[in-house]
């Protein structure tokens, strides 16, 4: 089935402004990927949509003064996950930022993945998906996985009581079982912190 530009933009707009996507959004309704990419290129040229990076697009939110607003990193990563049918695990400074343990959003964001290596450059920001072992993917998509990789980044000597309390305030009942499952795979010192988070000292 050959999709027209009108059909493409209608499907995109149905998701609302701020929506980030790839051409794979349309694979369920057409097998003509070449014509889809051509139509998307025309929509970019008409400024109906925006190309963020190779193969990655959005329907930008328009600020009345600033114009098109960049989508959040989380929306970009979610679009890539959906497109590639993969899982990702934030690591390093990005994991710490997501937990509120650091106020800085790194310009280079690294995530472990069970998919292929991928580097996405959007403006000055670089998002790197790094293939890793199954062990590093345990807890992907959960608060437990974030805690493990954030604490690894911060380091044993730099973790403060305030940081632990910041993590505690974010935990919900569903997080407890994920943390308990993560403990056997965590370094000893992180495992101890995790036990304290679920009151298993």
When pLDDT is cut at 50, 70 and 90, the band that residue 3 belongs to is: low
CA 185 centroid distance within chain: 23
Q: For the chain, what is the mean pLDDT?
A: 92
Residue 74 lies in a domain: no
**Closest by CA position to 131, among listed 118, 150, 147:** 118
When pLDDT is cut at 50, 70 and 90, the band that residue 2 belongs to is: low
**C-alpha torsion 48→64→127→187, nearest 10:** -140
Helix (H, G, I), strand (E, B) or coil at 178: helix
* 64 and 90 belong to one structural domain: no
The structural domain count of the chain equals 2
* 44 and 108 belong to one structural domain: no
* 11 and 109 belong to one structural domain: no
Residue 24, C-beta contacts closer than 8 angstroms, at least 6 positions apart: 82, 83
The model's pTM = 0.86
Residue 66, C-beta contacts closer than 8 angstroms, at least 6 positions apart: none
When pLDDT is cut at 50, 70 and 90, the band that residue 176 belongs to is: very high
CB atoms inside a 10 Å sphere around CB 17: 14
In the prediction, which pLDDT does 33 show? Answer: 78
Is residue 144 a contact partner of residue 75, using CB atoms and an 8 Å limit?
A: no
For 44, the token pair is 């970019």
* 123 and 176 belong to one structural domain: yes
- Between CA 199 and CA 201 the distance in angstroms is 6
Percentage with pLDDT > 90 across the chain: 80
Indicate whether 98 pLDDT > 60. yes
In the prediction, which pLDDT does 106 show? Answer: 87
Q: Could you list the residue range(s) of the whole structural domain that residue 20 is in? A: 5-69
Indicate whether 180 pLDDT > 60. yes
In the prediction, which pLDDT does 199 show? Answer: 83
Helix (H, G, I), strand (E, B) or coil at 63: strand
**C-alpha torsion 163→168→172→175, nearest 10:** 70
Query: Treating both helix axes as pointing N-terminal to C-terminal, what angle do 188-197 and 173-182 enclose, rounded to 10 degrees?
Result: 160
Residue 135 lies in a domain: yes
When pLDDT is cut at 50, 70 and 90, the band that residue 201 belongs to is: low
Q: What's the whole-number mean pLDDT along residues 147-156?
A: 96
When pLDDT is cut at 50, 70 and 90, the band that residue 197 belongs to is: very high
**Closest by CA position to 160, among listed 201, 110, 102:** 102
When pLDDT is cut at 50, 70 and 90, the band that residue 7 belongs to is: confident
* 35 and 114 belong to one structural domain: no
* 104 and 148 belong to one structural domain: yes
Segment (H or E) for 164: helix 161-168
* 52 and 121 belong to one structural domain: no
Residue 47 lies in a domain: yes
* Dihedral pair phi/psi, residue 160, rounded to 5°: -110, 165
């Amino acid at each position: 089935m050959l999709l027209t530009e009108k059909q493409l933009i209608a499907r995109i707009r149905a998701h609302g402004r701020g929506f980030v996507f790839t051409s794979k959004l349309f694979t369920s309704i057409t097998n003509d990927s070449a014509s889809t990419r051509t139509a998307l290129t025309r929509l970019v040229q008409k400024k109906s949509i925006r190309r963020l990076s190779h193969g990655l697009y959005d329907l930008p939110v328009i600020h009345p003064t600033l114009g098109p607003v960049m989508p959040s990193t989380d929306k970009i990563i979610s679009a890539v996950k959906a497109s590639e049918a993969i899982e990702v695990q934030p690591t390093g400074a990005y994991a710490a930022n997501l937990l509120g343990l650091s106020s800085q959003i790194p310009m280079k964001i690294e995530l472990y993945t069970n998919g292929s290596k991928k580097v996405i450059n959007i403006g000055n920001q670089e998002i790197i998906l790094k293939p890793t072992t199954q062990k590093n993917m345990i807890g992907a998509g959960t608060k437990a996985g974030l805690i493990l990789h954030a604490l690894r980044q911060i380091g044993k000597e730099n973790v403060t009581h305030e940081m632990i309390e910041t993590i505690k305030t974010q935990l919900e009942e569903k997080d407890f079982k994920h943390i308990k499952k993560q403990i056997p795979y965590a370094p000893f010192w992180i495992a101890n912190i995790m036990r304290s988070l679920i009151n298993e000292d």
